[in-house]
């Protein structure tokens, strides 16, 4: 049995410094080295979420990290999830179940915070009893001292877990010395002692040129730099934050099957399209430009955290009309989750589950009506689509119930292994489903692309599960080769 290691927390000098990916790398490295690691993030704010095997909801990043660690994902890995529904409000998911919507002012007040703190601490304790080591992730910046008293995820959580803190900074943004030094100096005396190392992430160029900078940073902060991790482009790890959409392709190209994902304001679970992005037969791009939608062979309507608000916006900006026009001209239109709801005749929200809008007509492409309800469905599913014999996998996370228009017979797209049905099928170029991950299944992708066979050349079919495992190994190799791993193990063994 491996020696028990201290938990490690990756804390950031700011948001989007790459903590989640570094955490995934360390999960895979520890697994490769014979440990049984598990990820933990006390509080996560994200629209990309995932259903655990128990049918509960966690942040997608922790599901990815668990996959890198080779263990099943569990709500204890992310006990508190905030899913933004507007600039000021979020749905609060505690231990995998929604407990209501909160505005930021109410949520960050001291009242009620101790109950949440007890919940996330208990989740950590359960996780730490089962796994070794725990790879913890902070949120945002650890130098937001105005939030220190109500913080559940950064230094107070590290203190509770007796974790060694590694500060992660993004050098690609510039100002790395100021951000690291300021983050350290703004900590209390006790919290400073907990910061045991620094990782400089996303370095571009010749690392040798930064060697004097490493020495300067160590002298300045009195903390060792554990590694300078170069920026990479050839390793593909699922990202959770919608900021990554800024770097994805945005226009159609010649010579491939063009697939347009409609860029909704409240787009969620964009990881549904990661598998398609790796398919050599297609060019997938994100757009809300009506001219670019007109160039697509296939239009995908993605999930949304605020379906009615997005539907209102699609009608306002002309995208709804562009989708309908494309459908009339023979373009495939498919909706997933919120996108499936958008394709129906009507969406009702009598109880104001999503917000102020109570009812809107949908795109009218599917003979179904959706009613928003307070009970959220979260579960993993096995299914068969249409008459296909292959068993497919996916997961559901949605509010609302979608039913056929009274008196209309509807063909379900999918038959679930438990005997249930999902989605609506009009024809091969018009369908919708609640199942996230439906596009991770090769059989379904092949069916979706079949009408455009004349555009296809001979390409090797991608085994996505094997591909993802290869990417975790490549990430681990990349980080391992630029990290002082012996020193990290020394720190986590209590010998620093």
Residue 461, pLDDT score? 66
With a cut of 90, say whether residue 419 has pLDDT above it: yes
438 and 485 both lie in a single domain: no
Considering the domain boundaries, does residue 462 fall inside one? Answer: no
With a cut of 60, say whether residue 246 has pLDDT above it: no
Q: In whole numbers, what is the pLDDT of the chain averaged over residues? A: 91
SS3 488: helix
Considering the domain boundaries, does residue 224 fall inside one? Answer: yes
Tokens of 118: 């007890």
- CB–CB of 242/274 below 8 Å? no
Which H/E stretch holds residue 69? helix 60-69
- pTM of the complete model: 0.79
Residue 111, pLDDT score? 65
Q: Respond yes or no: is residue 384 known to be catalytic.
A: no
- CB–CB of 232/273 below 8 Å? no
CATH code, domain carrying 421:
3.40.50.880
* Phi, then psi, of 350 in degrees rounded to 5: -65, -25
254 and 227 both lie in a single domain: no
Predicted confidence (pLDDT) per residue in 329-338, tens digit: 999 999 999 9
Q: What is the DSSP string of 313-342?
A: HHHHTTHHHHHHHHHHTT-EEEEETHHHHH
Give the range among 220-234, 252-266, 432-446 with minimum mean pLDDT: 252-266
- For 442-450, what is the mean pLDDT? 95
Q: Which residues contact 248 (CB under 8 A, 6 or more apart)?
A: 277, 285, 286
- Measured CA to CA, the distance from residue 329 to residue 110 in angstroms comes to 56
Predicted confidence (pLDDT) per residue in 340-389, tens digit: 999 999 999 998 888 888 999 999 999 999 999 867 899 999 999 999 99
With a cut of 70, say whether residue 96 has pLDDT above it: yes
123 and 44 both lie in a single domain: yes
Residue 457, pLDDT score? 62
With a cut of 80, say whether residue 407 has pLDDT above it: yes
Residue 101, pLDDT score? 81
CA dihedral 202, 206, 207, 210 (to 10 degrees): -100
Predicted confidence (pLDDT) per residue in 21-57, tens digit: 999 999 999 999 999 999 999 999 888 899 999 999 9
412 and 430 both lie in a single domain: yes
From the list 221, 337, 392, 424, the catalytic residue is: 337
215 and 251 both lie in a single domain: no
Considering the domain boundaries, does residue 3 fall inside one? Answer: no
249 and 232 both lie in a single domain: no
- For 79-96, what is the mean pLDDT? 86
255 and 222 both lie in a single domain: no
- For 271-281, what is the mean pLDDT? 90
Considering the domain boundaries, does residue 1 fall inside one? Answer: no
Residue 150, pLDDT score? 87
Considering the domain boundaries, does residue 463 fall inside one? Answer: no
Going across the sheet that includes 225-230, the strands are 38-40, 134-137, 8-12, 164-170, 195-203, 225-230
CATH code, domain carrying 12:
3.40.50.300
Predicted confidence (pLDDT) per residue in 287-311, tens digit: 999 999 999 999 999 999 899 999 9
274 and 227 both lie in a single domain: no
Predicted confidence (pLDDT) per residue in 161-199, tens digit: 999 999 999 998 888 999 999 999 999 999 999 999 999
126 and 212 both lie in a single domain: yes
Residue 16, pLDDT score? 82
With a cut of 90, say whether residue 418 has pLDDT above it: yes
What does the DSSP 8-state code read for residue 453? G
Task: Please report, rounded to a whole number, the percentage of residues in the chain having pLDDT higher than 90.
Answer: 72
130 and 214 both lie in a single domain: yes
The tally of domains found in the chain comes to 2
ω into residue 291 within 30 of 0, thus cis?
no
Give the range among 136-150, 241-255, 404-418 with minimum mean pLDDT: 241-255
Of residues 84 and 249, which shows the higher confidence score? 84
From the list 6, 327, 436, 482, the catalytic residue is: 436
Strand partners of residue 392:
383
Considering the domain boundaries, does residue 106 fall inside one? Answer: yes
The C-alpha angle with vertex 202 and arms to 181 and 81, in degrees rounded to 5, equals: 80
Considering the domain boundaries, does residue 276 fall inside one? Answer: yes
327 and 395 both lie in a single domain: yes
Q: How confident is the model at residue 207 (pLDDT cuts 50, 70, 90)?
A: confident
Residue 401, pLDDT score? 93
Q: How confident is the model at residue 429 (pLDDT cuts 50, 70, 90)?
A: very high
With a cut of 80, say whether residue 415 has pLDDT above it: yes
- CB–CB of 140/151 below 8 Å? no
Q: How confident is the model at residue 103 (pLDDT cuts 50, 70, 90)?
A: confident
Tokens of 163: 């974790």
With a cut of 60, say whether residue 458 has pLDDT above it: no
323 and 439 both lie in a single domain: yes
- For 313-321, what is the mean pLDDT? 94
With a cut of 70, say whether residue 243 has pLDDT above it: no
Strongest mean pLDDT among 139-143, 209-213, 236-240, 423-427:
423-427
Structural domain of residue 104, as residue ranges?
8-237+470-492
Residue 105, pLDDT score? 63
Considering the domain boundaries, does residue 465 fall inside one? Answer: no
């Amino acid at each position: 049995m491996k020696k028990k290691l201290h938990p490690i927390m990756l804390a950031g000098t700011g948001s989007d410094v790459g903590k989640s990916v570094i955490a995934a790398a360390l999960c895979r490295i520890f697994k490769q080295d014979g440990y049984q690691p598990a990820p933990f993030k006390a509080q996560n704010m994200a629209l990309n979420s995932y259903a655990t095997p128990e049918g509960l909801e966690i942040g997608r990043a922790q599901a990815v990290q668990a996959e890198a660690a080779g263990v099943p994902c569990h709500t204890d890995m992310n006990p508190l999830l905030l899913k933004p529904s507007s600039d000021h409000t979020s749905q609060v998911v505690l231990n995998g179940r929604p407990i209501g919507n909160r505005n930021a002012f109410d949520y960050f007040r001291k009242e009620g915070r101790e109950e949440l703190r007890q919940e996330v601490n208990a989740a950590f304790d359960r996780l730490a009893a089962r796994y070794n080591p725990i790879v913890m992730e902070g949120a945002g910046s650890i130098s937001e001292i105005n939030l220190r008293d109500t913080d559940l995820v950064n230094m107070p959580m590290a203190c509770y877990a007796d974790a060694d803190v590694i500060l992660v900074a993004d050098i690609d943004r510039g100002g790395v010395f100021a951000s690291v030094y300021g983050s350290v100096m703004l900590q209390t005396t006790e919290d400073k002692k907990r910061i045991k190392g620094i990782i400089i992430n996303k370095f571009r160029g010749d690392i040798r040129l930064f060697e004097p900078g490493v020495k300067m940073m160590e002298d300045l902060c009195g903390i060792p730099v554990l590694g300078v991790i170069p920026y990479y482009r050839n390793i593909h790890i699922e990202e959770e934050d919608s900021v990554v959409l800024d770097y994805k392709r945005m226009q159609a190209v010649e010579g491939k099957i063009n697939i347009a994902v409609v860029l909704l304001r409240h787009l969620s679970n964009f990881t549904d399209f990661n598998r398609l992005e790796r398919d050599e037969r297609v060019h997938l791009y994100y757009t809300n430009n009506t001219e670019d939608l007109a160039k697509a062979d296939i239009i995908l309507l993605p999930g949304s955290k605020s379906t009615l608000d997005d539907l209102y916006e699609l009608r306002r900006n002309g995208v709804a009309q562009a989708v309908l026009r494309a459908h009339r001209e023979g373009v495939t239109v498919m909706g997933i989750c919120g996108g499936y709801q958008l394709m129906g005749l009507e969406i009702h929200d009598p109880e104001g589950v999503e917000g102020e809008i109570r009812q809107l007509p949908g795109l009218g492409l599917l003979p179904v009506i959706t009613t928003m309800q307070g009970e959220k469905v979260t579960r993993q599913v096995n299914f068969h689509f249409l008459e296909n014999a292959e068993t497919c996998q996916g997961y559901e996370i949605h509010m609302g119930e979608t039913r056929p228009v009274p008196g209309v017979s509807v063909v379900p797209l999918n038959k679930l292994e438990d005997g249930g049905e999902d989605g609506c099928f009009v024809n091969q170029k018009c369908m919708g489903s609640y199942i996230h991950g439906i596009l991770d299944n090769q059989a379904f992708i092949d069916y979706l692309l079949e009408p455009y066979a004349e555009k296809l050349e001979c390409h090797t079919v991608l085994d996505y599960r094997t591909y993802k495992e290869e990417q975790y190994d490549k990430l681990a190799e990349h980080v391992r080769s630029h990290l002082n791993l012996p020193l990290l193990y020394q720190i986590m063994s209590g010998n620093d």
